[in-house]
Structure 1
Amino acid sequence: MTADDSFRRLEDDDYPAYTMGRAAEMLGTTQGFLRAIGEARLITPLRSPGGHRRYSRYQLRIAARARELVDGGTPIDAACRIVILEDQLEEAERINAEHHRTARH
């Protein structure tokens, strides 16, 4: 692997670059919160060869949104469901816009 390959991986939103401790620190939350949103199936961290949880930047953005909702008083299970529904809505809107662009041409 070259240095360029390593830098490209770090730019990849889906590359699991962050340990649980680092992810919790970046989000200003606890490792327990990350475990809880994992149990609620909001995110599924990848595992290192040693079995440690590893998080991507994309997963950290999702976790940050859930944390905003929980900090606002929403129960964690409800916050996770809201984030999932928001993500599904965004994807449906993207597909719909793409369909409309294709239909015009």
Structure 2
Amino acid sequence: MPPAGPRTPDPLDDDDYPAYTIGRAADMLGTTPSFLRALGENRLIAPLRSEGGHRRYSRYQLRIAARARELVDAGTPIEAACRIIILEDQLEEARRINEELRHRAERRKTSA
């Protein structure tokens, strides 16, 4: 039995690891590579590039692309879908920050 020690992180466990080619990502989402390129053109996702210049997508980016596809499939123009998702993300971040600030204020009140 190998000795127990620190586990080497597996890049495939990382949601941000750029593991998927544009073709594989499109297959997984049931869409086309041009749809994924359009998401990049609309600044929704920015895939990393391999040494050869090929787009590589992470699982996190695929989840965002899947949300965009849902909106587009429901009839939303791709530009609007991208903007909606960006605004949803900004709203979620603002809510997270507000909650953090609220907790800090409550801690100050109880420690004062």
Give the TM-score of the pair, scaled to structure 1: 0.92
The residue that corresponds to 1:40 in the other structure is: 42
Shift of 1:65: 0.5
User: Quick check: which one's helix share is greater?
Assistant: 1
Shift of 1:101: 1.0
Distance 2:106 2:43 in 1: 38
Shift of 1:102: 1.3
Equivalence map 1:61-80=2 (5 Å): 61-80=63-82
- Number of aligned pairs? 101
Q: How much is the aligned-residue C-alpha RMSD, in angstroms? A: 1.2
Q: Which of the residues 4, 17, 35 maps onto 2:8?
A: 4
Give the TM-score of the pair, scaled to structure 2: 0.86
Q: Where does the alignment leave 5 or more consecutive residues of structure 2 unmatched? A: 1-6, 108-112
- The sequence identity of aligned pairs, in percent, is 75
Equivalence map 1:17-28=2 (5 Å): 17-28=19-30
Q: Which amino acid aligns with 1:34?
A: L
Secondary structure of the corresponding residue to residue 8 of structure 2: helix
Which of the two has higher C-alpha Rg?
2
Q: Where does the alignment leave 5 or more consecutive residues of structure 1 unmatched? A: none
Shift of 1:13: 1.0
The residue that corresponds to 2:94 in the other structure is: 92
Distance 2:104 2:26 in 1: 42
In the TM superposition, structure 1's runs of 4+ consecutive aligned residues that sit over 6 Å from their partners are: none
CA deviation map 1:22-56 (0-9, x unaligned): 11011111101001111111000000000000001
